[in-house]
A and B are shown apart, each in its own frame.
Chain A
């Protein structure tokens, strides 16, 4: 089906294989595998406590997984095993960037500085690890200018250009969320992981966010997002993976997942027999899986 509508064969950017994460006796993630394709928005959904954030934490180096392999393939063909990289290398070498459910900006730094920290490695190199930069070499000046241009570009995208010199902590909640995404993008990631980007946003802000995320995808960055807001998930995702109790229960297009009885059961908490009933009804086409 995919070949019929889409002649371009999509390359895998992130491959998670047999991921397991144990906290003491608790199996938070149990043999979880999925793939995220390059240039797509992949959504990871599931009820509270399903282990979505744990998966993110494994991908971005917060946790060392108990078992499993996380392979990231960059566009130049190089592959990295994320679980073996040091924390800063996940971003610097593998090109993975992330945001948090609870905002983690450098609130004492200005908005612009937040975006410049994200370009640290480029600037450090250009400034000859500070020493040459202090001498004011032209190469550093050009790099500094480029960094500011890149920051400006993302500030405009995130609609924050007027606030560039304000402390990041002074921004409103919605603006802080957009700044976090802009900051993550300034590291030049190939894969951007967003942990509940729409949490706490009002419907209007939510729409702006959708546009921002689509824009990011269209510029070639792949996205992986955790989201509760189904209007966001169904609206923008190309691919949805559903997690419950640390295990994958469904994987496919938004439409496929929306109508998957297991997913409906997970979200509405239906008895097993009822699942069977619904499955039967679905076969007869009497139930619309509209609201999940």
Chain B
């Protein structure tokens, strides 16, 4: 039982990270119907931005409190990554909007390669370590929960709430949902659609940057290739939860995190990814729109 709860905690932590990245996939898909395959690399970029911010902070402001350092790392990573994604959208995706469906998809794969290679060239191919920042560990019986894990889950929850609020309660979120449903009509009502789409990319990137920072904190290393596997997992999470649905992305992320850690705990760790994708396949057979996805009803 204790072992199970331990794995549950681990799965929840991992799932939070996947969930944050999955939101970026699902939002961009929702608003322009495109799978942004570069999003995994945006997540990786977020980790690197946080790492660089950490190095700068510890070099120039030695003795900075850990909490402040972490907060600054998060903010800097969010800003930098947001700027990156804004630029990518502006130069690589926007000119292709209205072109045939596959064009942005191929460009996105291209951008993914560009980003990971860019980091490989500029930061080197080896994994970069970061010293453990938060080392506190709590023991409850035989269960070990680290402060890191708690932080990850808490930060994720706060961000999700803020995000939910923006999308559902603010004029910006309303414009995003309207653009999602009918881009041209939204423009005719005075909504600057291009800007709304840009903001969506920036928001997705900011969440991915937080996920990247936490991933860096959790595993202690950042590598140029980090975007691929977590990116694919997060994409899977978005599809599993129902692509286009925000709660679905979070739910999918948590599920994938849990499946992964529980499968590794009770079965073979080598097959954890197989288990994840098998469950995805099964869910999609019985519920093609994902768990919370709405079936598209076409009114004739």
Contact = CB atoms under 8 A, between A and B. Distances in A.
Q: Do A and B bind each other?
A: yes
Contacts of B193: 87-88
A227 interface: no
A166 B186 CA distance: 20
A30 B194 CA distance: 33
Interface residues of A, number: 34
A208 interface: no
A113 B166 CA distance: 14
B189 A97 contact: yes
Contacts of B170: 127, 130, 133-134
A120 B190 contact: yes
A249 interface: no
A118 B184 CA distance: 13
A127 to B, nearest CB: 6
Interface stretch (B42-50, B84-92, B175-183, B260-268): B175-183
B133 interface: no
Contacts of A127: 170-172
Contacts of B162: 134
A98 B190 CA distance: 11
A127 B172 CA distance: 9
B187 interface: yes
Interface in B179-213: 181-182, 184-193
A109 B181 contact: yes
B94 interface: no
B188 A109 contact: no
B174 interface: yes
A117 B172 contact: no
A120 B188 CA distance: 11
Contact of A87 (B174, B177, B187): B187
Contacts of A106: 177-178, 181-182, 185-186
Chief secondary structure at chain B's binding surface:
helix
Q: How large is the interface on B (under 10, 10 to 19, 20 to 34, 35 or more residues)?
A: 20 to 34
A193 to B, nearest CB: 10
B172 to A, nearest CB: 4
Given A88-B190, A92-B190, A109 B177 contact: yes
A169 B298 CA distance: 12
A161 interface: no
Nearest to B165: A134
Nearest to B193: A88
A60 B188 contact: yes
Given A108-B181, A109-B177, A87 B171 contact: no
Given A106-B185, A117-B178, A130 B166 contact: yes
B166 A117 contact: no
Given A92-B190, A187-B189, A120 B174 contact: yes
Nearest to A116: B174
Nearest to A188: B190
A121 interface: yes
Contacts of A129: 172
Contact of A120 (B166, B181, B189): B189
A130 B171 CA distance: 7
A256 interface: no
Interface of B: 162, 165-166, 170-172, 174-175, 177-178, 181-182, 184-193, 299
17 contacts: A60-B188, A87-B184, A87-B193, A88-B188, A92-B192, A104-B185, A108-B181, A109-B181, A117-B191, A120-B171, A121-B190, A124-B175, A127-B171, A134-B165, A134-B170, A187-B189, A187-B190
